[in-house]
């Protein structure tokens, strides 16, 4: 089975290690912070147990045994098919890490970044091995939410993209392809528009943040867990997508055209949200809520795995 290197063992790195190890890959885990990769491995053990509890991993002990903590970056990259980079979200960190990874990784290894917003051409342009670099952006927590956005630079070899897609599919993820580079890719751009409107609605005193959350949780989000926006609107008008746009397009256009230009995430709207929210959560409360979310997501993932396929 192929070997994978995980560089950076924080929130996202350890989830990637969980994914690859539980689907049979051997994983080398590296982090620049002393002791971080070892601590991450313990955390991964918990992730694997939880997945096993939902029937999503067969043998959590064997999966954990496939993960080793590397001594340094060179040790992590030895003999790997793919490197998944999960360092800090700054352009300087990505440029430095990709330069090192390109110098040390075997020539055939794919170099993929988990970056949330930075396009691959910004950190790979001057590298001798730039044809093997791309973005593979996951969503938190990646071991429970399978989407991976593959976003190659203009010079990324299409064969590299194809090989990367196969590896992520083998690991149980759901890759999508960006045909052009776009900062923020698809998911975060969709999320940005939704969040901007949510902040504007609360900031303008139209609805409480709790009611906005209910609108997604008990409204739009129910369909979105198994169908996308295009699949959704196709069923909302007898003539499908063109009919939907003919009926509702003018009203939708009116709303998006009217969107104010100010920063929806500025201090005033944040204050309006927090006035209703009831204060910031403590670290313990955040941890408890994250555990609850992960358990719900694992149950949903198991349900989706067992669910009947969509008719054609
Ligand atoms: N947190 C999210 O929701 C999320 C979702 C998708 C993608 N991402 C992206 O994933 C990446 C990692 O995010 P995170 O949330 O895991 O951050 P994090 O802060 O939890 O982890 C970053 C880790 O990288 C390590 N690190 C720093 N410099 C390093 C180096 N030179 N070599 C090796 N390790 C190094 C740090 O010690 C730390 O453990 C970012 O690019 C982020 O944008 C994050």
pLDDT, tens digit, 9 for 90 and up, residues 54-70: 999 999 999 999 999 99
pLDDT value at position 312?
A: 81
Distance 199 CA to ligand 1 centre (A): 27
- Parse the chain into domains and list their residue ranges: 3-177, 187-280
Angle between helices 187-203 and 267-277 (to 10 degrees): 70
Count the residues in the chain: 312
Range with lowest mean pLDDT among 8-17, 39-48, 74-83, 255-264:
255-264
Verify whether ligand 1 is closer than 6 Å to residue 7 (CB atom). Answer: yes
Average pLDDT of the segment spanning 32-51 = 95
Contacts of 227 (CB under 8 A, 6+ apart): 310
- How far is the C-alpha of 26 from the C-alpha of 106, rounded, in Å? 16
pLDDT value at position 310?
A: 84
pLDDT value at position 44?
A: 96
Model confidence over 135-178: pLDDT tens digits? 999 999 999 999 999 999 999 999 999 999 999 999 999 999 99
Q: Over pLDDT 70: what percentage of the chain?
A: 100
Verify whether ligand 1 is closer than 6 Å to residue 112 (CB atom). Answer: no
CATH number for 3-177 (one of 3.90.1150.10, 3.40.50.2300, 3.40.50.150, 3.40.50.720): it is: 3.40.50.720
- How far is the C-alpha of 71 from the C-alpha of 86, rounded, in Å? 17
Residue 1 scores a pLDDT above 80: no
> Does 1.10.1040.10 match the CATH number of domain 187-280?
yes
Total-model pTM: 0.94
pLDDT value at position 124?
A: 98
Verify whether ligand 1 is closer than 6 Å to residue 146 (CB atom). Answer: no
For 37, list phi and psi in degrees, rounded to 5.
Answer: -65, -35
Q: Do the beta carbons of residue 123 and residue 151 sit within 8 Å? A: no
Q: Do the beta carbons of residue 79 and residue 110 sit within 8 Å? A: no
pLDDT value at position 258?
A: 77
pLDDT value at position 97?
A: 98
Atom 37 of ligand 1, residue of closest alpha carbon = 33
pLDDT value at position 308?
A: 81
Distance 141 CA to ligand 1 centre (A): 13
Verify whether ligand 1 is closer than 6 Å to residue 272 (CB atom). Answer: no
Bridge partners (DSSP) of residue 57 are none
pLDDT value at position 60?
A: 97
Verify whether ligand 1 is closer than 6 Å to residue 86 (CB atom). Answer: yes
- State the burial class of residue 228 (Cβ atoms within 10 Å of its Cβ: 0-12, 13-18, 19+): exposed
Token readout for 28 is 């080398």
Residue 41 scores a pLDDT above 80: yes
Q: Do the beta carbons of residue 131 and residue 155 sit within 8 Å? A: yes
> H/E element holding 7?
strand 3-7
pLDDT value at position 261?
A: 82
Residue 211 scores a pLDDT above 80: yes
Model confidence over 236-268: pLDDT tens digits? 999 999 999 999 999 999 998 877 788 999 999
pLDDT value at position 307?
A: 86
pLDDT value at position 309?
A: 83
pLDDT bucket at 311, cuts 50 / 70 / 90:
confident
């Amino acid at each position: 089975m192929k070997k994978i290197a995980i560089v950076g063992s924080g929130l996202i790195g350890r989830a990637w290690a969980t994914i690859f190890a539980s689907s049979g890959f051997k994983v080398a885990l590296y982090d620049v912070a002393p002791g971080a990769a070892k601590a991450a491995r313990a955390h991964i053990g918990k992730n694997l147990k939880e997945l096993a509890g939902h029937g999503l991993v067969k043998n959590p002990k064997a999966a954990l045994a496939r993960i080793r903590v590397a001594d340094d970056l060179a040790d992590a990259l030895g003999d790997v098919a793919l490197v998944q980079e999960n360092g800090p979200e700054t352009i300087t960190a990505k440029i430095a890490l990709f330069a090192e990874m390109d110098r040390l990784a075997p020539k055939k290894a794919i170099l993929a970044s988990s970056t949330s917003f930075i396009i691959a051409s910004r950190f790979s342009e001057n590298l001798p091995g730039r044809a093997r670099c791309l973005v593979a952006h996951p969503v938190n927590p990646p071991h429970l939410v399978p989407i991976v956005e593959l976003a190659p630079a203009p010079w990324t070899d299409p064969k590299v993209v194809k090989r990367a897609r196969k590896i992520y599919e083998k690991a149980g993820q759901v890759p999508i392809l960006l045909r052009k580079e776009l900062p923020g890719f698809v998911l975060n751009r969709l999320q940005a528009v939704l969040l901007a409107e949510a902040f504007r609605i609360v900031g303008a005193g139209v609805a409480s943040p709790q009611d906005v959350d209910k609108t997604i949780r008990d409204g739009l989000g129910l369909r979105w867990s198994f169908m996308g926006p295009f699949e959704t609107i196709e069923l909302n008008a007898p003539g499908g997508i063109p009919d939907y746009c003919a009926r509702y397009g003018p009203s939708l256009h009116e709303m998006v055209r009217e969107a104010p230009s100010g920063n929806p995430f500025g201090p005033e709207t944040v204050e309006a949200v927090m006035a209703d929210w009831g204060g910031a959560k403590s670290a313990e409360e955040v941890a408890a809520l994250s555990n609850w979310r992960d358990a719900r997501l694992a149950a949903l993932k198991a349900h989706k795995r067992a669910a009947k396929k969509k008719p054609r």
